[in-house]
Structure 1
Amino acid sequence: MWIPAVCCRSLATERNFIQRKTSANAAVFAGGGEEIYHAPEWTRCGKSAVRRFLKDFVTYAEGSVLTEFGNTRVLVTASLDRKVPHFLKGRGEGWVTAEYGMLPRATHTRNFREAARGKQSGRTLEIQRLIGRSLRAVVDRAALGERTITVDCDVLQADGGTRTASITGGYVALALAIKKLMQEGELERNPIHGQVAGVSVGIYKGQPILDLDYDEDSEAETDMNVVMNEAGGFIEIQGTAEGHAFQRGELENLLDLAEEGIRQLVEKQAEVLGVDGRTEPVGPRQ
């Protein structure tokens, strides 16, 4: 079983934040001069895939991050609305929901805009529901009060794993939004009581691998999306076989691989958010 390995630079070096005091012209890349965290490179199958979060990437959203998983890039924003859906009115609880979309040329060939067609595809609806469910799993909705936070996930470039990148980056954007609301006095306590991240795993040419790219996903014998919290609890598992069934032992190997990948992602989320003491920590359930 392949296990992700840190290479090229030491983990201690990678845990240092790279401070960029940017000019106005460079601010769009560097997220307005905020801290940028470059996650370690994970090697597999002769390739390396860089994971990084560029927080505060846009100006107006309460929270935002550009999430890069290899060649997949997803811009995620979290926006506050001081009302809730009709089914929650008067209950004193908030809501976290998600929307997902892809730019027409995020893929190898241009796709039609769903807005131009006037209808979202079944795939889009499935993915945004998955993102919303995953994020709500770590939110105390009573502490959020009657507010809605919408997490928008816009895929700029797709090379596999867009939904898991959206979940992982979605948590970062949500946490940044909550931090801002607490600093402004909008919230009395932190409604986030954990972390959430997701990875894709699969069996490709007989080998279990982490974070399938587009080519691997299209030829994989088995592919699976796994979402977990920071305590190692499972939030969602979606797995299918193509061509032939997978065995229980193979399933366990894939889950072990996903757990290791998510463990590393959770560490990087915590570091970029400053949960190690640089900023307001993620709060426990109260």
Structure 2
Amino acid sequence: MSETAPSPVPTATARNANRRHDGRANDQLRPIQFELGIAPHATGSVLVSFGQTRVICAAMIEPKVPAWMRQQGIKGGWLTAEYSMLPYSTLDRKSRDSSRGKQDGRSVEIQRLIGRSLRASIDLDKLGENTLWIDCDVLQADGGTRTASITGAYVAARLAVQKLIDAKRIAENPFRDSVAAVSVGIVKGVPVLDLDYIEDRDAEVDANVVMTGSGQFVEVQGAGEEATFSHEQLQQLLALATGGLKTLAAQQQTQIARALLTTR
């Protein structure tokens, strides 16, 4: 009677064959960290790190709404965001927008994305006649600054509205759900999660996915870089993003719960 030979034990070389340049598996996030209260004068703040990408996200409450809302008789509150990369956030100094006289198109695009993403998860009627300002300032850029900004912005905003609730300025939490974002891409033909700068630079396809904590898509931005991608590859990228975003949502909730526990 013949026997089936046992499968060989994978060598270290074989085990690492599918590892990325930084040693991560294809479906692995970079190390994620949240440092709460980084800006003491903000109503809520966090320094969020996706690997070497580090962004300060601060939320402040202004007890009024924009003039256009008053003129149109729109009730409720408003949420808006601003985004900037500090001059020393990249290897080569980045000029401040003030020195150019206007914001560059990329910064405008990203801050609009941050605003849209958080407005998708909040009931502005429950915010009252308040404006929730979100400021995201990139301290260090190594890919994924917009996704880190959205993920950190929700934490800062949630902590800020809790202070409104505690001060009885609003009756209940206006956030219907959490929101986070992550990048995915195809690098050397392989779908990967949470691209750093080197991977983003070399990717044939890259995308940013924004999702609520309950698994609803808010926005999907994706494009081929002088390349195309198939329906199957798109599904692979969305599956990678969904897995990563579940992890990020859990980490957000853990940080918020700890912060609220220490203030009670």
Q: Deviations over 1:80-101 (max 9, x none)?
A: 1111112211422101100000
Q: Which has the larger radius of gyration?
A: 2
Asked whether the 8 Å contact 1:201–1:212 carries over to 2, the reply is yes
Query: Deviation of residue 43 (structure 1)?
Result: 3.0
Asked whether the 8 Å contact 1:204–1:220 carries over to 2, the reply is yes
* Matching of residue 79 in structure 1 with residue 60 in structure 2: yes
* Matching of residue 147 in structure 1 with residue 130 in structure 2: yes
The one-letter amino acid paired with 1:105 is Y
* Matching of residue 257 in structure 1 with residue 240 in structure 2: yes
Find 1:247's aligned residue among 230, 238, 260.
230
Asked whether the 8 Å contact 2:29–2:244 carries over to 1, the reply is no
Asked whether the 8 Å contact 2:48–2:148 carries over to 1, the reply is yes
Q: Following superposition, which runs of at least 4 residues in structure 1 exceed 2 angstroms of deviation?
A: 42-45, 275-280
Cα RMSD over matched residues? Answer: 1.9
Asked whether the 8 Å contact 1:200–1:258 carries over to 2, the reply is yes
* 1:38-49 equivalent positions in 2, closer than 5 A: 43-44=24-25, 49=30
1:177 match = 160
Normalised TM-score (structure 1): 0.80
Query: Deviation of residue 275 (structure 1)?
Result: 7.9
* Matching of residue 266 in structure 1 with residue 249 in structure 2: yes
Cα gap change, 1:169 to 1:189, in 2 (>3 Å): same
1:7 match = none
CA distance in 2, matches of 1:256, 1:233: 13
CA distance in 2, matches of 1:83, 1:274: 28
The one-letter amino acid paired with 1:50 is P
Asked whether the 8 Å contact 2:209–2:221 carries over to 1, the reply is yes
Query: Deviation of residue 120 (structure 1)?
Result: 0.1
SS in 2 for 1:274: helix
Find 2:36's aligned residue among 45, 51, 55.
55
1:106 match = 89
Unpaired segments ≥5 residues, structure 2: 1-22
SS in 2 for 1:49: coil
Asked whether the 8 Å contact 1:80–1:150 carries over to 2, the reply is yes
Query: Deviation of residue 278 (structure 1)?
Result: 4.0
1:91 match = 74
CA distance in 2, matches of 1:240, 1:96: 28
Cα gap change, 1:56 to 1:97, in 2 (>3 Å): same
Asked whether the 8 Å contact 2:32–2:51 carries over to 1, the reply is yes
Cα gap change, 1:180 to 1:261, in 2 (>3 Å): same
Asked whether the 8 Å contact 2:53–2:145 carries over to 1, the reply is yes
Asked whether the 8 Å contact 2:54–2:140 carries over to 1, the reply is yes
CA distance in 2, matches of 1:211, 1:106: 19
1:216 match = 199
Asked whether the 8 Å contact 1:273–1:279 carries over to 2, the reply is no
Query: Deviation of residue 180 (structure 1)?
Result: 1.1
Asked whether the 8 Å contact 1:168–1:198 carries over to 2, the reply is yes
CA distance in 2, matches of 1:279, 1:237: 36
Query: Deviation of residue 276 (structure 1)?
Result: 11
2:17 match = none
Cα gap change, 1:277 to 1:85, in 2 (>3 Å): closer
Query: Deviation of residue 184 (structure 1)?
Result: 1.3
Query: Deviation of residue 108 (structure 1)?
Result: 1.3
- Percent identical pairs in the alignment equals 50
Unpaired segments ≥5 residues, structure 1: 1-41, 281-286
Asked whether the 8 Å contact 2:30–2:194 carries over to 1, the reply is no
Query: Deviation of residue 231 (structure 1)?
Result: 1.2
Query: Deviation of residue 243 (structure 1)?
Result: 2.1
SS in 1 for 2:24: strand
CA distance in 1, matches of 2:96, 2:173: 37
CA distance in 2, matches of 1:74, 1:96: 19
Asked whether the 8 Å contact 2:29–2:193 carries over to 1, the reply is no
SS in 1 for 2:92: coil
Asked whether the 8 Å contact 2:45–2:59 carries over to 1, the reply is yes
